[in-house]
Structure 1
Amino acid sequence: MLKKILILCPLVMMLSACATGGDGAASTPAGGQSTTQQLGVSALKMAVNAKCVNELNNMTIWKTASQAMTSEQQQNVQTKVCGCVSDKAPESVTAVDLANAAFNTQARTQIAAKAIDKTITTCLAEVSK
């Protein structure tokens, strides 16, 4: 129970800091994203980063390529690839997906998996250049 509370505290604090307009609507910060979408992007990036290494380790191409690397090199490449995937993930989902990712853990996991599938091969290619 304490773990759930600790996870929800930052989200509650962020939501309580949201500015509202005179009509009660959430303000839209620079960049055109609503606060909900920004929360969704952050939540999605965290979920993607957490799942990326596992997905990468299950790929045949990674298993083959990593055999020729030291563990430090493997760690560096994983960090670069998963950073790339986290950065590209929000581009591969809809605004509705981002809003769902902000508040729904199960949806966030599914959206993260979909985003990883769409971006991991591209990121592997970019990092290997």
Structure 2
Amino acid sequence: MKKLIALLAPIALALTACASTTGTTGGNSTATTTTQQLGTAALKIAINAKCTTELNNLPAWQTATKLMTAEQKTNIQGEICGCVSDKAPQSVTAVDLATAAIDPEARATIVSNAVTKTINACVAEAVK
């Protein structure tokens, strides 16, 4: 537990150093926004890749796509994984993002959990 606190404390300090309390300078906010956008984009890419793998491993998906053309399968898969990529980051906390930035194993677990939480809802949306 002490190691975790020792590891997270510098991250918390670094994250708070980026926060602007005055809001008048504007210089830091652009850099912070860009960093957040890059982090979110990277997370979405990882989630999309994990979604594709998970979807292709689902027995129900394999059965449902047997009679589809490759183009139909690709279109529906893109729709489902696009949905997952959009919704999954909403289930990731700031602490998870900080942990994912420094620990590849944690990143894989966080991405996997986010995909698992959202894939069924997105499949249901795509089927409607």
Unaligned runs of 5+ in 1: 1-23
Unaligned runs of 5+ in 2: 1-15, 21-28
1:124 and 1:118 map into 2 onto residues whose CA distance is: 12
Q: Deviations over 1:55-90 (max 9, x none)?
A: 001111101111121110000011111111111111
2:90 and 2:42 map into 1 onto residues whose CA distance is: 14
**Aligned to 1:26, which of 18, 21, 24?**
18
TM-score (norm 1): 0.69
1:46 and 1:105 map into 2 onto residues whose CA distance is: 15
Who is 2:25 aligned against?
none
Who is 2:72 aligned against?
73
More helix by share: 2
Who is 1:118 aligned against?
117
TM-score (norm 2): 0.70
Amino acid at match of 2:44: K
- Change over 3 Å in CA distance of 1:109–1:48 after alignment to 2: same
1:116 and 1:42 map into 2 onto residues whose CA distance is: 15
2:38 and 2:18 map into 1 onto residues whose CA distance is: 13
**Aligned CA-pair RMSD:** 2.6
The residue correspondences of 1:7-46 to structure 2 (distance < 5 A) are 25-27=17-19, 29=29, 37-46=36-45
1:100 and 1:36 map into 2 onto residues whose CA distance is: 16
- Please tell me whether the aligned partners of residues 85 and 116 of structure 1 are also in contact (alpha carbons under 8 angstroms): yes
Identity between Structure 1 and Structure 2 (%): 56
- Change over 3 Å in CA distance of 1:63–1:120 after alignment to 2: same
- Alpha-carbon shift at residue 42 of structure 1 (Å): 2.5
1:122 and 1:68 map into 2 onto residues whose CA distance is: 23
2:120 and 2:66 map into 1 onto residues whose CA distance is: 18
- Change over 3 Å in CA distance of 1:40–1:107 after alignment to 2: farther
- Change over 3 Å in CA distance of 1:27–1:102 after alignment to 2: same
